[in-house]
Structure 1
Amino acid sequence: MGTTPASPSTDLNGSGLIRLLAGLSLVEAARSRQFPAERLGQWLDVADAITLHAAQSAGAAMVPAAPPALQPASVVAAADEFARVRAALVDLITASCSPAGSSSGSRIRLPLPTSGTEPEIAAAYGPYRRFHLALQTEMEAAVRALRGSIRRAFMPVSARLGRLAVLDEALDRILAARERQLLATTLPALLEKRFQQLLAAHQQALIDSGQGDDPGLWMQPGGWLATFRDELQAVLIAELDLRLQPVLGLVEAGQDEAGRH
């Protein structure tokens, strides 16, 4: 088994998220075809490389730990926890994006325009950006806690997994700020662009038909805001899976290691 962590989630290339954004014509479909190691190199400076080298040296010095009998339980528990956290976050996203979010008890609720609201006020993107950022905060906290928990669980399982955990922790520290900046800035900007595209098409259709506008109808089936809501939910779930890629890499490495014994 190799001990290379999953490609850092700061790289959107090849992910379900980039394919979804490309399908919405928000990014170029043809992205970089560089190998993961080359893409990672673009994110690292000299200080980062020194940190990684130190982490590799520390991992190599680890003594073989716990007997193989402990491995299956640790690996199964990690896989179960991964599935539980992902399911809980998908449920949160789905409930928050639902127009019935208030009745579902979701603590993060999709902004809903009402009849009587001025269309110019109802079409402001600020509330939707804050909604997205609130869900990103929930995802980041839960994924970071899960990743740390699995690293700690794997440290005593075997020397291989111990080295992987040390290296993953170093990568996490190095790339966390870059990931946060990319996902909290670039992605909301792309979604705002899509929001404006749908709004412009809706406004043009009203002009062509000579009809008036009623924000209270935007969330009805076929409404432009209902379409945006569906796309936003799909992007949020794809973003979640992107954030979970390094954690999934740890889980799969643990399953690989358990299979060796």
Structure 2
Amino acid sequence: MSQAPRRTGFSGPTLVRLLARLTDADVPEPGNSLSGQLSQWLGWADAIALSAALKGSPPAVPPGTRASDSTEEERECARVRTALANAVREDGAGAGRRRGPARPSALPDPVEAQVDYAVYRQRYVTQQQSMETAIGNLRGRLRIALSGRAPGMAKLAMVDTVMERVLGAREQTLLGTVPTLLEAHFQRLRQAEAAALAEAQAAGQPAPVTAGAWLAVFRKDMQSVLLAELDLRFQPIEGLLAALRDS
């Protein structure tokens, strides 16, 4: 069964490189710096809100407020991350068990709706929603922890609040395209296997692969993409944790 070509020349986040390889997309290197890209993403109202957070004074910490232990916050973040990663892996393993063993004698039709991508799209979206909720809660928790530290850390918490609000919608839009990109990979794997099996059958040769093997390949690829997306979504958490440690 033919596989998607492996791309090695592109540098960038693991999620982007993985999607480029699976979809054989021609992804150009970014031409602008990070600050230049941010200036294109932020509207004038967003820029004003960010400027106000940078220049404003952080709210006073109420007397008697206990600064949380950074070790405790790190343990909680590690627990949530592990739980999210395990949910991705268990969902992929469960899909294989639910589907059951493939029938070697069956020749899959590439346009047959025996395996509907809509099922996998919904599972991917469900995992995305779980990540968004859990990581959003962690981010808010870390901001509260930072607010109880030095004024500089409290200001960082204010800036992160604005950044999450103004960039969250764009992040959701961009990550929302991932299931659509994976659908093309899903169809390509299925059609490649069907063509290989049909060619072998027409030539009277043994089947080169077990019918349905393409789906196991796709499930593994989808799991890799979800784990790479989890790493990407966790980057703000790692930044806030680093600030909490330094404070």
TM-score norm. by structure 1 comes to 0.77
1:163 aligned to 2:155? yes
The Cα shift of 1:19 comes to 1.8
Within-5 A mapping of 1:158-237:
158-184=150-176, 186-210=177-201, 217-218=211-212, 223-237=213-227
* Structure 1 unmatched ranges of 5 or more: 1-12, 103-109
Partner in structure 1 of residue 87 of structure 2: 92
Provide runs of 4+ in structure 1 moved above 2 Å: 22-31, 60-67, 99-102, 110-119
Within-5 A mapping of 1:123-134:
123-134=115-126
Cα distance, 1:113–1:66 mapped onto 2, change above 3 Å: farther
Partner AA of 1:197 in structure 2: R
Q: How far does the alpha carbon of each residue in 1:205-251 deviate from its partner, in whole angstroms, 9 at most, with x for none?
A: 0221127x9xx952xxxx11111111100000000111111111111
Cα distance, 1:170–1:113 mapped onto 2, change above 3 Å: farther
Cα distance in 2 between the residues matched to 1:55 and 1:45: 15
Partner in structure 2 of residue 152 of structure 1: 144
Contact 2:14 2:228 in 1 (8 A): yes
Contact 1:155 1:161 in 2 (8 A): yes
Cα distance, 1:254–1:61 mapped onto 2, change above 3 Å: closer
The Cα shift of 1:21 comes to 1.6
Question: Pairwise CA RMSD of aligned residues?
Answer: 2.9
Q: How far does the alpha carbon of each residue in 1:184-207 deviate from its partner, in whole angstroms, 9 at most, with x for none?
A: 2x1111111111111121111022
Cα distance in 2 between the residues matched to 1:142 and 1:101: 26
Q: Larger radius of gyration, structure 1 or 2?
A: 2
Contact 1:65 1:157 in 2 (8 A): no
Matched-pair identity in %: 36
Cα distance in 2 between the residues matched to 1:89 and 1:128: 17
Cα distance, 1:65–1:134 mapped onto 2, change above 3 Å: same
* Structure 2 unmatched ranges of 5 or more: 1-10
Within-5 A mapping of 1:44-123:
44-58=42-56, 60-62=57-59, 74-99=69-94, 119=109, 120-123=112-115
